[in-house]
């Protein structure tokens, strides 16, 4: 005899799924569909008239050398942000995991920066590194190093990477710490009794067991670097000097809200959408294989 | 934000419920905060107290770009205000939106109120006027670039603090002496594109763009890579290399070091006066913007920056009458003279200038009339009326990028300006296509 409870109603599962589906549709599919639709037009800002241009917006974008170059800028920026945010967070998490006295105080303080809005984070870093009045710029000058990110593209990149990564470190820290605490102590103790050093235990036991967390954070951090960092860039460099910190998402913002060119902005969103989709597929197909659950 | 919404709700309720509910409400969205916001509110409440037919409700919508975007979004949703403050670079965007705006000359004519366009300073109103002389938006806050001089710094470099700095050649001599004496920041600037390309072009009567700087049509092309501009940028680039010109950023970041006494010379908007006067602990002077004496016809006149008030389409006749009454009030010489003296912005009418002069204000605050003299010295030409270019906020961004290439030595002046013109033209073609 069948012991499971069976619901005969064919509609019930759909009904139960409906709220989630509705949210997904309204907040994800609809805007994405709108962006795809709008990318085929050149409208005027006030929406008084619009012209169908087919793939014209995409042609315009890919014909622009500066747009093509911003792919490379985005790649450099994203890799730097992801690697530095994750490695610092892991380092801090490993240290915090070993602290016995006052550990909760440390942890709370380390999580704080996550509550700071990107634009505020940008302004904070800008104050410290202002070439004229910033305290760190002044200290560097005392050491004989000239800091001027308004003219030096490399310094500007370093500054926006630092500000973006700093904000994300807390988030990564939280997950790494949880991941570390989920690793059975007995395994590590057994290795310690066998005489494995801290570094060896970390390399052969902790890091592999942490890989699901690391993988999750890799995906989240890349998406963060791609989409959520424009506030930092807007406040610190506005994409400059020249185009050295103009990443793709900043250009979406600047064409749409500074230039009021909604057609080009929509086309760029579609390109970004595709790019992140491809990146996520690649991550799941090729990197996830190496993850041990 | 919540507070603002709450305040807005309360204001809306009060205007609806109060006994004076017969008053027509006029919505005015603006981009002023801080001291300027207070002065604006003062004007509005003065107007509201002066009559009981109309009630102007002023609301801050963020900075200039945010205010423009708020206006655009509101128009798309059919919730536009009556009056929208738009910065000068948004002029072409507003003009292109014929179905979204109602020209000021039309609003004034329909209201039957007296409106004499010739009373306004031609150099100010010209920026917002069609080629056949019809005023599209009401000039509100306008300023023009001038040279701020730290006299103590000149003296410390062994120079005469009252030395002639009217031409760039003479400025060059002063910079040599300043550099020699160990000054770390002989010259810096704010708003580089506005001062050193847009105003430079007008001041030397050379075009910044074809089609009368865009006034005569959207099929305009940038010509900011002409001889005068290249020579000027090349000179500044050389000065940057020698440490005589210090680049401080795209906006007015140079203001802080100048006010702190670190920089000797500073090209900045005349509206920066209040800040310098308040903070500077050194003896300073305001001078006209320098020019190149070997260019024929220089100095012509400089052009303005700032914002104007646009009237939006789709309101009732009664509201437009209120807008006209409010504009009439804003243009009155008493209000303008006070605004000019409080903020350092230019007065928009000749009468307000005369009134300020008669009050002895310029004698007490030497240099505050330089901006007006510099703008009104000669009748504006096709090259010095102003600029009307689509996507101009973004084109300024491109110019900033290219100039940064000159300041850090990665590009020559000619290369940078050629590239700026080419990239800017691409945006102008996009704008032309969208506004066909």
For A194-230, the pLDDT digits (tens) are 999 999 999 999 999 999 999 999 999 999 999 889 8
All residues of chain B having their beta carbon less than 8 Å from the beta carbon of residue A148 are 247
Asked casually if ipTM beats, i.e. exceeds, 0.85, the reply is: no
CA distance B263 to B255: 9
| pLDDT reported for residue A4 | 74
HSE at residue B314, side-chain half, CA atoms within 13 A, is 14
Phi, psi for residue B135 in degrees, rounded to 5:
-80, 125
Domains and CATH numbers, chain B: 15-142+305-364 (3.40.190.10), 145-302+390-434 (3.40.190.10)
All residues of chain B having their beta carbon less than 8 Å from the beta carbon of residue A64 are 426
Structure tokens at A40: 């085929």
Please give the DSSP secondary-structure letter assigned to residue B270. Answer: G
Terminal-residue alpha carbon distance, chain B: 38
| pLDDT reported for residue A132 | 83
Choose the mutation target among A61, A62, A133, A241 for the interface with B, i.e. most B CBs under 10 Å: A241
Whole-number Cα distances in Å, B241 to B137, B234, B253: 42, 11, 20
Which residue ranges make up each domain of chain A? 60-290
Nearest neighbour of A240 by CB, restricted to B401, B410, B436? B401
Q: In B339-422, which ranges are E strands? A: none
Structure tokens at B13: 């309720």
- Contact across the interface for A254 and B397, Cβ inside 8 Å: yes
All residues of chain A having their beta carbon less than 8 Å from the beta carbon of residue B391 are 259-261
For residues B131 and B185, is the Cβ–Cβ distance under 8 A? no
Pick one of 3.40.640.10, 1.10.3720.10, 3.40.50.300, 2.40.160.20 as the CATH number of A60-290.
1.10.3720.10
- Contact across the interface for B75 and A46, Cβ inside 8 Å: yes
- Contact across the interface for A242 and B393, Cβ inside 8 Å: no
- Contact across the interface for A46 and B97, Cβ inside 8 Å: yes
Nearest neighbour of B247 by CB, restricted to A151, A254, A263? A151
- Contact across the interface for A48 and B99, Cβ inside 8 Å: yes
CA distance A73 to B116: 54
- If one compares A291 and A283, the residue with the highest pLDDT of the two is A283
| pLDDT reported for residue A242 | 86
All residues of chain A having their beta carbon less than 8 Å from the beta carbon of residue B69 are 257, 260
Question: What contacts B154, CB < 8 A, 6 or more positions away?
Answer: B160, B161, B163, B174, B178, B264
CA distance A232 to B30: 26
- Contact across the interface for A46 and B99, Cβ inside 8 Å: yes
Question: What count of CB pairs under 8 Å joins A to B?
Answer: 96
In B, minimum Cα distance to A251 occurs at B394
Which sign does the torsion angle of CA B75, B80, B83, B87 carry?
negative
Nearest neighbour of B405 by CB, restricted to A43, A242, A255? A242
Query: What does the angle CA A20 – CA A24 – CA A26 come to, to the nearest 5 degrees?
Result: 115
Tell me the shortest Cα–Cα distance from A94 to chain B, in angstroms.
40
Tell me the shortest Cα–Cα distance from B401 to chain A, in angstroms.
4
Nearest neighbour of A150 by CB, restricted to B72, B248, B397? B248
Q: Which residues of chain B have pLDDT under 70?
A: 1-21
- Contact across the interface for A260 and B401, Cβ inside 8 Å: no
Q: Is it true that the peptide bond before B299 is cis, omega within 30 degrees of 0? A: yes
Phi, psi for residue A242 in degrees, rounded to 5:
50, -120
Tell me the three state secondary structure of residue B393.
Answer: helix
Tell me the shortest Cα–Cα distance from A122 to chain B, in angstroms.
16
- Closest to B218 measured CA to CA, from B392, B393, B428: B428
Nearest neighbour of A258 by CB, restricted to B65, B400, B423? B65
All residues of chain B having their beta carbon less than 8 Å from the beta carbon of residue A150 are 247-250, 253, 404
HSE at residue B229, side-chain half, CA atoms within 13 A, is 31
Percent of chain A surpassing pLDDT 70? 99
For A59-117, the pLDDT digits (tens) are 999 999 999 999 999 999 999 999 999 999 999 999 888 877 888 888 888 888 888 88
- Contact across the interface for B434 and A151, Cβ inside 8 Å: no
In A, minimum Cα distance to B248 occurs at A150
Q: Please, what is the average pLDDT of chain A?
A: 90
CA distance B135 to B348: 13
């Amino acid at each position: 005899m069948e012991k499971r409870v069976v619901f005969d109603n064919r509609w019930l599962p759909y009904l139960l799924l409906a709220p989630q589906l509705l949210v997904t549709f309204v907040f994800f599919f609809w805007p994405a569909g709108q962006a795809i639709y709008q990318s085929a037009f050149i409208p005027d800002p006030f929406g008084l008239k619009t012209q169908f241009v087919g793939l014209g917006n995409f042609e315009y974008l890919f014909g622009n050398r500066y747009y093509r170059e911003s792919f490379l800028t985005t790649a450099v920026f994203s890799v730097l942000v992801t690697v530095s945010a994750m490695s610092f967070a892991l380092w801090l998490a490993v240290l915090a995991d070993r602290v016995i006295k006052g550990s909760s105080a440390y942890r709370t303080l380390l999580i704080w920066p996550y509550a700071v809005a990107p634009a505020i984070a940008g302004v904070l870093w800008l104050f410290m590194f202002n070439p004229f009045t910033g305290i760190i710029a002044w200290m560097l000058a005392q050491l004989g190093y000239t800091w001027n990110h308004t003219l030096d593209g490399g310094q500007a990149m370093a500054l926006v990477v630092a500000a973006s990564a700093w904000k994300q470190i807390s988030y990564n820290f939280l997950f790494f710490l949880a991941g570390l605490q989920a690793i059975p102590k007995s395994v590590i103790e057994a290795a310690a009794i066998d005489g494995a050093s801290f570094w060896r235990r970390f390399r052969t036991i902790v890091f592999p067991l942490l890989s699901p967390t690391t993988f999750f954070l890799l995906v989240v951090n890349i998406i963060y670097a791609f989409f959520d960092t424009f506030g930092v860039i807007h406040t610190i460099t506005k994409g400059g000097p020249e185009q050295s910190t103009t990443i793709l998402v900043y250009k979406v913002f600047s064409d749409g809200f500074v230039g009021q060119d909604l057609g080009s902005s929509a086309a760029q969103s579609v390109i970004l959408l595709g790019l992140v989709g491809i990146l996520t597929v690649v991550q799941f197909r090729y990197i996830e294989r190496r993850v041990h659950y | 934000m919540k507070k603002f919404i709450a305040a807005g709700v309360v204001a809306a309720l009060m205007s609806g419920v109060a006994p004076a509910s017969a008053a027509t409400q006029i919505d005015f969205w603006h981009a002023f905060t801080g001291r300027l916001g207070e002065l604006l509110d003062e004007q509005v409440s003065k107007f509201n107290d002066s009559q009981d037919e109309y009630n102007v409700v002023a609301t801050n919508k963020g900075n200039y770009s945010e205010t423009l975007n708020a206006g655009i979004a509101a128009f798309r949703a059919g919730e536009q205000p009556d009056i929208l403050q738009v910065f000068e670079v948004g002029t072409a965007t507003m003009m292109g939106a014929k179905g979204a705006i109602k020209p000021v000359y039309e609003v004034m004519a329909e209201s039957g109120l007296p409106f004499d366009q010739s009373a306004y300073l031609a150099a100010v109103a010209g920026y917002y006027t069609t080629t056949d002389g019809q005023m599209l938006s009401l000039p509100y806050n306008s300023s023009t670039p001038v040279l701020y001089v730290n006299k103590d710094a000149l003296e410390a470099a062994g120079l005469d603090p009252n030395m002639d700095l009217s031409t760039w050649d003479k400025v060059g001599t002063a910079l040599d002496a300043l550099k020699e004496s160990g000054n770390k920041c002989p010259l810096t600037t704010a708003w580089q594109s506005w001062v050193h390309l847009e105003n430079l072009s007008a001041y030397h009567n050379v075009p910044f763009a074809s089609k009368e700087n865009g006034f005569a049509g959207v099929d305009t092309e940038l010509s900011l890579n002409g001889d005068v501009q290249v020579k000027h940028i090349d000179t500044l680039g050389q000065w940057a290399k020698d440490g005589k010109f210090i680049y401080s950023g795209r906006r007015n970041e140079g203001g802080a070091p100048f006010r702190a006494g670190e920089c000797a010379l500073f090209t900045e908007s005349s509206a920066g006066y209040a800040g310098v006067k308040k903070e500077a602990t050194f003896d300073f002077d305001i001078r006209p913007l320098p020019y190149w004496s070997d260019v024929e016809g220089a100095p012509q006149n400089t052009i303005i920056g700032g914002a104007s008030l646009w009237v939006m389409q789709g309101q009732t006749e009664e509201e437009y009458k209120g807008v006209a009454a409010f504009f009439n009030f804003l243009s009155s010489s008493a209000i303008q003279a006070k605004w000019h003296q409080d903020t350092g912005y230019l007065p928009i009418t000749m009468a307000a200038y005369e009134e300020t002069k008669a009050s002895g204000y310029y004698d007490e605050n030497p240099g505050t009339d330089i901006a007006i003299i510099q703008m009104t010295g000669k009748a504006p030409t096709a090259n010095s009326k102003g600029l009307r270019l689509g996507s101009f906020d973004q084109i300024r961004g491109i110019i900033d990028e290219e100039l940064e290439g000159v300041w850090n030595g990665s590009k020559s002046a000619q290369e940078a300006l050629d590239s700026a013109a080419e990239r800017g033209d691409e945006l102008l073609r996009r704008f032309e296509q969208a506004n066909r």
